[in-house]
Amino acid sequence: LVAGVGNPWLRDLDFGPQFVRRIQAEEWPRDVAIEDASYAAHRVLHLLQDLRPQRVVFVSGFPRGDPPGTLRRYPVDQDALPDDDEIAERLGEAAGGVIDFDHTLIVARHFKALPHDTVVIEVEAEDTAFGTGFSDPVEASVERVLELVKEEVAR
């Protein structure tokens, strides 16, 4: 499963969903699903529970304090969870419609919905204002993100 997670209509935070829309025309192996997962964490959880993928590659644009356009590729640490109160708070926000990539990772890990082989490919967001299109540094990362996704799919 290649899943684009993000906030629709919030420029660079919409990277994941817009990215998967762009790559759907690419040729992918039959066993690879390309999904727009631009919704709250509990809904992504249900998607994962329904599909039960053997491998997940999440693609997202998210601000973590790096220079805009910085690419991060990392495996998801299945054991890194906050305390129960924080998990409950994040679930409450998700039920209220908040779309947040960290919420998605935490909720999916808490409910053990992620396969062991889960990787995140993330672009450092610059422009998180309402609107369409990406900032220049994020737009410049698209081809490299596609290369990274293809590498993950080929593993």
Comparing C-alpha atoms, which of 57, 53, 50, 46 is closest to residue 3? 57
Express each pLDDT in 38-86 by its tens digit: 989 999 999 999 999 999 999 999 999 999 999 999 999 988 899 999 9
Are 142 and 22 a contacting pair, CB within 8 Å?
A: yes
Helix, strand, or coil here: 43?
Answer: helix
pLDDT of residue 80: 86
Tokens of 101: 């990539």
Please, what is the average pLDDT of the chain?
Answer: 95
Average pLDDT over residues 122-136: 97
Task: Give the pLDDT band of residue 143 (cuts 50, 70, 90).
Answer: very high
| Tokens coding 151 | 């590498």
Q: Report the candidate in 137, 125, 126, 115 with the shortest Cα–Cα distance to residue 52.
A: 115
Q: What 8-state DSSP symbol labels residue 78?
A: T
Query: How would you classify residue 70: left for phi > 0, otherwise alpha for psi between -120 and 50, otherwise beta?
Result: beta
Q: For position 78, what pLDDT does the model report?
A: 86
d(CA 94, CA 24): 27
> Alpha-carbon distance 56 to 79, whole Å?
17
For 131-145, what is the mean pLDDT? 97
Q: What's the pLDDT at 104?
A: 93
Predicted pLDDT of residue 88? 94
Domain map (residue ranges) of the chain: 2-154
2-154 is classed CATH 3.40.50.2000:
no
Dist CA 87 CA 64 (whole Å): 20
Per DSSP, the three-state class of 44 is: helix
Q: How far, in Å, CA of 22 to CA of 15, rounded?
A: 10
How confident is the model over 114-132, as a mean pLDDT?
97
Q: What is the pLDDT of residue 79?
A: 85
Look at residue 84 in the predicted model and tell me its pLDDT: 93
Token readout for 24 is 């759907």
